[in-house]
Amino acid sequence: MSLDADAIVDRRRLRRKLTFWRIAAFVILAVALGAAILAVTGLNAPSRRSAHIARISVEGVILDDRQQLKMIRDISESTAVKGVILSINSPGGSTTGGEALYEALSELAKKKPLVAEIRTVGTSAGYMIALASDHVVARYNSITGSIGVLFQYGNIEKLLTTLGVEMDAVKSSPLKAEPDFYSTTSPEARQVLETLVGDSYDWFVRLVAERRKLDEPRARELANGAILSGYRAKEAGLIDAIGGEDTAIAWLRTEKGVAADLPVVTWKVPAEQENLPFSMQIGRSLGEGAASTLLNHLSNAKGLISPSLTLDGLVSVWHAPNAAETEARRGGGE
């Protein structure tokens, strides 16, 4: 049975409406997906090519990070960057990692006005890198200081004896691979470690004295490993002002002549990623985000992973390595 003319017209109208809504749904989905991609990759942020204040965020344990050092060099060479905020939320880290970061930031400060902002925590190597700036700001209740160096190691000799396990080694000399975890540290090995720690500590003290314009005895007095509130640090001359990022920006504007209307742009992505195809940038960003989330969950589950486990050798770190991560989860900073 053939359809009459009215039925044919109605069916065509229905098909046109269905086609319209299908297209509309596709466009909406494409726009939503595009917005999500921009949010993940940060491509919707103010452009690095236009004049701005660069923000360098140092979060968590400080390690020797080549990509971060390269990014700092790129900032120093960018004509669009008119000033830099070093935003610190770190308990410290490896001494060499802090040294490398300090040196890179010192070179940056020769080319760009640099101000440091200590947020929740900026201790040990976290404070060390702040010394590269010309001005240091911290909150009244920020935790800073803890100036010193540590070489820490464990010993399970008694546990092995209880279990009936013996360890032995053939060495080229008595001090090779000392200290170990299965025998008492010899006086000679301990002296080697004390010399190592002492050399690093003296370097740190001289750095504090030079950058904070203190005589060395006073710097050594302050470098007793104790943590200080931002208020106490200012009283001691270890920082310059109490406040947050607004205070840091105000200093750039009033003291360094940085324009008042410049946006603050966070530099995060290594420069080499900018040259990757768009699809690869998306994949890399999503992959890094997933890996970070997985590590955070593992760290929170019975303490399976701790940032301190990645540190070898001399460290300059306060003993609360998760403080910065806790603050970030609470929304304490960008």
Bridge partners, residue 142, by sequence: none
Q: In this predicted model, what pLDDT tens digit does every residue of 256-303 receive, in sequence order?
A: 999 989 999 999 855 444 444 544 544 554 454 444 444 444 444 433
Average pLDDT over residues 311-326: 57
- Of 45-59, 107-121, 138-152, which range is least confident? 45-59
Residues known to be catalytic? 124, 176
Top pLDDT among 289 and 54 is at: 54
DSSP letter at 216 equals H
d(CA 145, CA 130): 11
Mean pLDDT value across residues 140-145: 96
Give the least confident one: 14-18, 76-80, 201-205: 14-18
DSSP string, 131-170: TTSSEEEE-TT-EEE----B------HHHHHHHT------
Mean pLDDT of 93-122: 96
Predicted confidence (pLDDT) per residue in 161-216, tens digit = 899 998 888 989 988 888 888 888 899 999 999 999 999 999 999 999 999 999 99
Question: In the predicted model, what is the mean pLDDT of residues 23-38?
Answer: 67
For residue 324, pLDDT over 50 is answered with no
Whole-number Å distance between alpha carbons of 59 and 226: 21
Q: What is the pLDDT of residue 323?
A: 45
Based on the number of CB atoms within 10 Å of its own CB, is 47 exposed (0-12), middle (13-18) or buried (19 or more)?
exposed
Distance CA 332, CA 43 (A): 23
CA 201 to mean position of chain CA atoms? 23
Q: How far apart are CA 51 and CA 141, in angstroms?
A: 33
Query: Which residues have a Cβ under 8 Å from the Cβ of 192 and sit 6 or more positions away?
Result: 175, 178
Residue 28: which pLDDT band, with cuts at 50, 70 and 90? confident
Most confident region among 31-45, 93-107, 175-189 by mean pLDDT: 93-107
pLDDT at 219 over 50: yes
Q: Per-residue pLDDT for 31 more than 70?
A: no
User: According to the model, what pLDDT value does residue 304 have?
Assistant: 36
Instruction: Report the range of poorest mean pLDDT among 60-64, 110-114, 129-133, 326-330.
Output: 326-330
Residue 226's identity, in one-letter code, is A
Q: Quote the CA–CA distance of 305 and 85 in Å, as a whole number.
A: 31
Going by pLDDT thresholds of 50, 70 and 90, the confidence category of residue 330 is: very low
Any long-range contacts for 187-196 (C-beta under 8 Å, 24+ apart)? Answer: 193/151, 196/151, 196/314
Q: What average pLDDT does the chain have?
A: 80
Specify the higher pLDDT residue, 209 or 159.
209
* 3-state helix, strand and coil shares in percent for the chain, rounded to the nearest 5: 50, 15, 35
Q: Residue 37 has what pLDDT?
A: 57
12 burial class (0-12, 13-18, 19+ CB within 10 angstroms)?
exposed
pLDDT at res. 53: 97
Query: How large is the average pLDDT for residues 127-138?
Result: 97
Confidence (pLDDT) at 153: 80
pLDDT for 157:
87
Say how far apart CA 130 and CA 116 lie, in whole Å. Answer: 6
pLDDT for the residue numbered 166: 87
